[in-house]
C-alpha cells in the first residue's frame, strides 16, 4: 500500500519548513548572544556545537520514538512541542543571558553555557522531526534509503534557504523576537495541519513482517 501524493507532499513540506526554521533559529542565536559575548569565532563555535549536539540527540530520540505505532498525531505533537520550547527563548532570553554573563564573562564558556540554555531543548525537539518524517513515508524496506535521502534533500534545501533568507533579509527588516514568533506560529500551524490526518504506517509493520517471513 502507498500513501497518496497529497500526504507525501504534506510531509515533505513540513520537513522543508523544519529545516528552514532550524537555521533561522541558529542564525538568530548569534544576534541574541552578540550583545553579551560578541560575534567572535568562540561564540559561533559554541552555537554550532550546541545545535549539532542537540540535532544528533533529536535524531536518535526521534528514530526511537517512531518505532512504536507511528502516526500523524504523534508527528504533529513534535511540531507543537518544538513551538512551546521556543517560548522561554522569546520571553526570558535576555534575562537568561544577563544571569549567565554576570557569572561567566569568558566568551568561550559563557557563550557555550548561553547557547545550551537557550537552544539545546528546542533544537532536540526539532531534530526529532526528520527521522519521524522518514518513518511516516517509508512503507517498505526496499525503498527506505531512497525515501530517506529525498526527505533529507528537501529538509536541507529548506535549511539553505533559511540561512540565506534570515541572514540576508529577515534580520534587516524585523526584530529578533518578531522572527521567533513567526517560527513559533509556523510550528503550531505545521503541527495542527498534520495531527488530524488519518494516515498511519501500520502497513509498514505488515510489509516488514512479510519480508522477514519470506527471507526466513
Please state the φ and ψ torsions of residue 71, each to the nearest 5 degrees.
-155, 170
Please state the φ and ψ torsions of residue 128, each to the nearest 5 degrees.
-70, -20
pTM for the predicted model, two decimal places = 0.87
- Give the contacts of 138 (CB within 8 A, at least 6 positions apart): 144, 147, 148, 201, 204
How does residue 202 score in pLDDT terms, banded at 50, 70 and 90? very low
CB atoms closer than 10 angstroms to residue 22? 28
pLDDT recorded at residue 141: 76
pLDDT tens-digit readout, 121-137: 999 999 999 999 999 99
Amino acid at each position: 500500500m502507498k500513501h497518496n501524493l497529497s500526504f507525501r507532499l504534506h510531509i515533505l513540506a513540513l520537513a522543508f519548513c523544519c529545516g528552514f526554521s532550524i537555521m533561522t533559529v541558529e542564525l538568530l542565536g548569534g544576534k541574541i548572544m552578540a550583545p553579551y559575548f560578541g560575534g567572535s569565532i568562540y561564540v559561533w563555535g559554541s552555537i554550532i556545537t550546541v545545535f549539532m549536539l542537540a540535532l544528533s540527540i533529536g535524531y536518535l530520540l526521534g528514530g526511537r520514538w517512531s518505532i512504536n505505532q507511528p502516526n500523524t498525531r504523534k508527528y504533529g505533537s513534535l511540531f507543537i512541542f518544538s513551538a512551546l520550547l521556543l517560548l522561554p527563548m522569546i520571553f526570558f532570553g535576555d534575562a537568561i543571558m544577563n544571569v549567565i554573563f554576570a557569572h561567566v564573562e569568558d566568551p568561550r564558556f559563557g557563550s557555550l553555557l548561553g547557547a545550551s540554555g537557550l537552544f539545546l531543548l528546542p533544537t532536540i525537539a526539532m531534530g526529532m522531526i526528520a527521522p519521524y518524517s522518514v518513518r511516516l513515508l517509508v512503507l517498505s524496506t526496499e525503498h527506505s534509503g531512497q525515501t530517506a535521502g529525498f526527505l533529507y534533500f528537501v529538509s536541507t534545501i529548506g535549511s539553505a534557504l533559511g540561512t540565506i533568507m534570515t541572514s540576508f533579509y529577515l534580520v534587516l527588516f524585523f526584530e529578533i523576537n518578531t522572527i521567533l514568533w513567526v517560527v513559533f506560529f509556523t510550528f503550531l500551524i505545521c503541527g495542527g495541519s498534520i495531527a488530524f490526518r488519518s494516515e498511519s504506517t501500520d502497513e509498514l509493520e505488515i510489509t516488514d513482517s512479510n519480508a522477514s517471513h519470506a527471507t526466513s
